[in-house]
Amino acid sequence: MVNVFQKKVLMLALYAGEIMMKSGAEVYRVEDTMSRICKSCRIDNVEVFATPTGIFISLDKGGDEDDTQTYIKRISGINTDLRKISDVNHFSRQFTTTDLSVDRGMEILKDIEGKKGYSLPLRVAGAIMVSAAFCLIMGGQPLDCCVAMVSGSLCYLFSRLLKRVDVNSFVTGFCSCALASFIAILAASSIDGTNFDPIIIGAIMLFVPGVALTNSIRDFLSGDMLSGVARLMEAILTAVSLAAGAGVVIKIYDLLGGALL
């Protein structure tokens, strides 16, 4: 049977894995962190299995007749927060190399989870710079970049509004890119010297699932085929929703004869 101390360690490892998975960490990193936390407390017969939608951790004492204790944590609402991943990594190294108590470790993890992200104005500023930069890379002129800055900020704020009312990521991406296309076409139709193609691309790049695609490849390379396929499908479906949102508006624009005003 698992004693009270072992159960606390398992809960600590499970909590650390939950924070990392919800923040967009790779599966192998989550499993390795959880295993190291357990083994640092002399819990050797532990098995960890993580997927993008759930974490499983089990423990026994190694005997043939021992009861196996298994704990499951459902994962939902994955976002990208590299700072939290870094903080949990730092905590795991601190926990495994010092005499940090399990209770204190749980308090540290709660503080990490409770940390707020960057402020909204700073995020909007980042969206403005990203949109302008990609618009310029794609051949946009200074006037196009100015429109892309406005489009990127409005689309990002719109996506945050949709997430606040619990709209899923695929619908959010579709609607945000549709708005980006509408703004770009409206600007191109009313302002001489603007081209809507680089403006649309600049705004869409805010929602491209680059992290999910990168993590899927890293999961494949580390042998986690199930998680790699899951993340790859997530990236593909997200990309399809972005393309569909922009494509629908452009198609409507063409059906109207290329005129909105």
* pTM for the model: 0.80
**Distance separating alpha carbons of residues 48 and 38, to the nearest angstrom:** 10
Q: What are the pLDDT tens digits along the chain (261 aa)?
A: 567 888 888 899 999 999 999 988 888 889 999 999 988 888 878 888 988 888 998 887 665 666 678 888 888 877 888 889 999 999 999 998 888 888 899 999 999 988 887 888 999 999 999 999 999 998 888 898 999 999 999 999 999 999 888 888 889 999 999 999 999 998 888 888 788 889 999 999 989 888 888 888 888 888 888 888 888 888 899 999 999 999 999 888 888 776 554
Q: What burial class does residue 245 get, using C-beta atoms within 10 Å of its C-beta: 0-12 exposed, 13-18 middle, 19+ buried?
A: buried
**Distance separating alpha carbons of residues 156 and 117, to the nearest angstrom:** 15
